[in-house]
Amino acid sequence: MTERDDFSVMSFNIQVGIGSHRARHMLLHGWKYVMPHGQSLRNLERIAEILREADIAGLNEVDAGSFRSQYVNQAGFLAERAQFPYWAQQRTRDFGELAQHSNSVLSRWPIAHSKPHSLPSFMKGRGMLETRTDVNGRPLTVVITHLGLSRHARFSQIRDLAQRLGQRHSLILMGDLNCTARSPEIRLLLAESGLQAPPWNPPTFPSWSPRFSFDHIFCSPDLEFTEIESIGTPLSDHLALKARLRWHSQTGADARHPSP
């Protein structure tokens, strides 16, 4: 665990451990979304190796323990293998024994508070997971979300996010937003929430030939990016996105007392 003023975060859509890394896998491996398969735990082990590079990790498309994941809660499995002492989870679509979709966060610092929120969606199942922790004595709110596939749905979800998160301090938002950094949805989010984007947006999708910046990390203005990169190991249809952040020196004192 780092004791410096900066820290690292990672956003990763792990695709339920399917391990797609070729275009043809999207078709040939489709059955793995609903059926258990022998490589899933090995894929998760490899994903854990990447997650070890982060202090806080936000995960999308994580199964919370069902038939398709061999009844393994993948967030808990990754937390153990990547040596994160703390983790939290939001089940967004619970199909019982068949599948349990979730957003999850892994942390090297204790999670003092965790609260799931639903987001507007034509089909129930989109949400955001809000957690609060202390990073070397400074309160930090981390929000994980996974937005819809249609632009209409994303606009509704982003307006809801902006209303909840707008003008707050010491906050990070990350996840698979299913739209690029230059999309009107992202422009709306940044304009209405006051969050800031990194200096550039590495492409993360598809992992075998990254062209689209679908995965994002944003932060409140009292934080700043010092590094941003995608991790070029295709273990899902998305690449992991990693950032290093720090508090602005001139706002360091304010960061210890964030807005509620």
What are the tens digits of pLDDT across the range 180-192?
A: 999 999 999 999 9
pLDDT score, position 50:
97
Residue 77 lies in a domain: yes
pTM: 0.89
pLDDT of residue 16: 86
Number of compact structural domains in the chain: 1
Q: Which residues contact 17 (CB under 8 A, 6 or more apart)?
A: 40, 41, 43, 44, 47, 63, 69, 74
Residue 126 is part of a domain; what is its CATH number? Answer: 3.60.10.10
- Asked if the structure places residue 1 within a domain, the reply is no
Mean pLDDT across the chain: 88
More confident of the two residues 4 and 26: 4
Domain span including residue 237: 6-255
Asked whether residue 24 is assigned to any structural domain, the reply reads yes
Q: What is the pLDDT of residues 116-134, one digit of tens each?
A: 999 998 878 899 999 999 9
Model confidence pLDDT, tens digit, residues 71-130: 999 999 999 999 999 999 999 987 677 788 899 999 999 999 999 999 998 878 899 999
Q: Is residue 64 part of a domain?
A: yes
- Return the closest-CA partner of residue 47 out of 10, 102, 99: 10
